[in-house]
Structure 1
Amino acid sequence: MAKVRTKDLMKELNLELLFGEEGIDRPIMTSDLSRPGLEMAGYFTYYPEDRVQVLGKTELSFFSKLSPAEKRSRMDQLCTEVTPAIIISREMEVPEELALAAEEKGVPVFRSPLKTSRLSSRLTNFLESKLAPTTAIHGVLVDIYGVGVLIMGKSGVGKSETALELVKRGHRLVADDCVEIRQEDQDTLIGNAPELIEHLLEIRGLGIINVMTLFGAGAVRSFKRITLVINLELWDQSKQYDRLGLEEEKMKIIDTEVTKLTVPVRPGRNLAVIIEVAAMNFRLKRMGLNAAEQFTNKLADVIEDGEH
């Protein structure tokens, strides 16, 4: 099923529909755009017909120099059964040949007041965000001091209760139970809540609570970039947990690797404080201050001095 259709583009960029209304339900399968300059010159061998076509001043001024027969031929070839849309920038006049070909083939033709480069930029941004690879993960996403922390763990380990404590401490909830994640660019993961459960938190014994109603609009966020994963697991006596913080484990979500910490859970541990400090420490590391490395270096110096 298509994630984006031509009518979504029209609505998002407030485009003026001129011709080819019957094609506004056409699917858009790629975020790549085409500025058909070579095609205007008659070279259609590698014409990317499945892309949104953007016609700017350069293409239309060249087109105006062609003979009437060439004009008809170019526009007939430009409008295909799969072309999602043709957009004219700068509110320029639509050539008559394009209007006829578009109506015949059912290709929507739009007009925008934006300059071609600005229009292309907005089109690309919109299509990339809508067509980005997506996944859904069972967990809780919280914005802690500007760090998007995805809290994971088995059902019943205390993820939602920890999130509630974090919200009480002034942090912001993004999603509980199910986190929808899309990958933007090469290494950017954006998480949000499914529309049905946005701003809601499920606490065993209390049921479902609305965080925004209880704590105010400042306690929630619609989406957040995920930069840290914290995995909560029940304390295992036989397992060796990292006590220095020198090793950095990674977790792959879609095609992006994210730093992952494993925090053991047992009675008496204040998980909210631990996760809060983990987020602050992660920020410090990104600023170049690594307490574990500094400690190890000092320890090495002490050992070295003792040997002399």
Structure 2
Amino acid sequence: MKIDKKNISQKESITIKYFHKHTSKNFGIVSYTGEVGFDRTINQPNLHRPGLALAGFVKLFSYDRIQIFGNTEISYLNSLPIEKRKIIFENIFEFNIPCIVITNGVMPFPELIELALKKGIPIFGSSLDTTKISYLIVDFLDDVFANKLSVHASFVDVYGIGMLFVGKSGIGKSEVALDLVERGHRLVADDVVILTKKGEGILMGTGTSLGSHFMEIRGIGIIDVRSMFGVRAIRFQKRLEVIVELEVWDPNQAYTRTGLDITNIQIINVDIPIIKLPILPGKNITVVAEVIALNYLLKHYGYDAAKVLSENIQKKMERPEDFDISNVNYFEHDFE
């Protein structure tokens, strides 16, 4: 599997309009200033609590971040007379801040709204506490600004393991995915899979907004997996855990026989195990894929069949007198 760096993308900024559209829908964030300042941009995923800036110390003021007004900031501002608050807001708005989010369901000061409308700075509010809404916003922004890779593949949840099937066009990736869906597993995406780095060591996969659960089956055409198999047969995102590379059998290629040596591929600085699976007539790739998923689960829970067999062989070699080629030492009327 070759990674084309041209397919890796990352947003440099988003508009306040984009931010409000998604956070209002998912987190219940409301705008107190209408659509004023919706053309402003957010350029990074971090937030800032401007307590020191409100007190007058602006030397280290991270003004280019979303400003969060929590209980601490609101309590301090409540302790001040209106004229003093106006001066503070005027000083803050001298900086090019993207927007302000007021937490805990607190209504904004009228003088803050008045000045924000004049300066074109959006003021948002949330009924959630500061810790909760900050976590949700950062998680959303991390996802928006994360590196993303577009790959030609089929992505299926097999026994809870995210398996990405890659290979040359026409080798049968979609057919394997369809067979797995028919056996009760869940399709995440087919043809175009978007991989997003989510935190350290985690890649999340999803489809495109247009055709994530549509499949192209050569000889049949386009099918809708959700309509055909129901909602049980799909999911919208899944963590990528194993890559299965389908390729035509090559007698000169050395394929793994024991599984002791794990091969990884690095995708957006995340190591993912990759298994090369040769295609042969009569080989049931679907069942093999299920076995790969189950074997991954066993390894995750601490049992590695290849290592156990290797250790057993090593023990027998060390004590050959105990070695018996047969698994049982008696046969009587086919009873055990």
Query: What is the match of residue 181 of structure 1?
Result: 195
Matches within 5 A, 1:116-265: 116-265=130-279
Structure 1 residue 26: Cα displacement: 2.2
Q: Where does the alignment leave 5 or more consecutive residues of structure 2 unmatched? A: 1-10, 323-336
1:31-88 residue CA offsets vs partner (Å, 9 max, x unmatched): 2111111111111112111211111121122223346664333212322564221111
Alignment: residue pair count: 308
Q: Distance in 1 between matches of 2:175 and 2:19?
A: 43
Q: Distance in 2 between matches of 1:141 and 1:84?
A: 37
Q: Percent identity?
A: 36
Q: Which range moves more in the overlay, 119-128 or 224-233?
A: 119-128
Query: What is the match of residue 19 of structure 1?
Result: 33
Q: Which range moves more in the overlay, 85-94 or 75-84?
A: 75-84
Q: Distance in 2 between matches of 1:196 and 1:163?
A: 19
Tell whether 2:65 aligns with 1:51: yes
Query: What is the match of residue 105 of structure 2?
Result: 91
Matches within 5 A, 1:267-282: 267-282=281-296
Q: Distance in 1 between matches of 2:203 and 2:40?
A: 28
Q: What one-letter code is carried by the residue in structure 2 that aligns with 1:48?
A: S
Q: Which range moves more in the overlay, 272-281 or 204-213?
A: 204-213
Query: What is the match of residue 88 of structure 2?
Result: 74
Structure 1 residue 98: Cα displacement: 2.1
Q: What one-letter code is carried by the residue in structure 1 that aligns with 2:242?
A: L
Matches within 5 A, 1:57-68: 57-66=71-80
Structure 1 residue 101: Cα displacement: 2.8
Answer whether contact 2:20 2:29 (CA < 8 A) is retained.
Answer: no
Structure 1 residue 223: Cα displacement: 1.1
Q: Which range moves more in the overlay, 188-197 or 88-97?
A: 88-97
Answer whether contact 1:6 1:27 (CA < 8 A) is retained.
Answer: no
Match of 1:151, SS state, is: strand
Structure 1 residue 162: Cα displacement: 1.0
Give TM-score scaled by structure 2 length.
0.86
Give TM-score scaled by structure 1 length.
0.93
Q: Where does the alignment leave 5 or more consecutive residues of structure 1 unmatched? A: none
Structure 1 residue 6: Cα displacement: 3.7
1:138-164 residue CA offsets vs partner (Å, 9 max, x unmatched): 110000000000011111111111111
Q: What one-letter code is carried by the residue in structure 2 that aligns with 1:126?
A: F
Match of 2:312 among 277, 290, 298: 298
Answer whether contact 2:157 2:188 (CA < 8 A) is retained.
Answer: yes
Query: What is the match of residue 288 of structure 1?
Result: 302
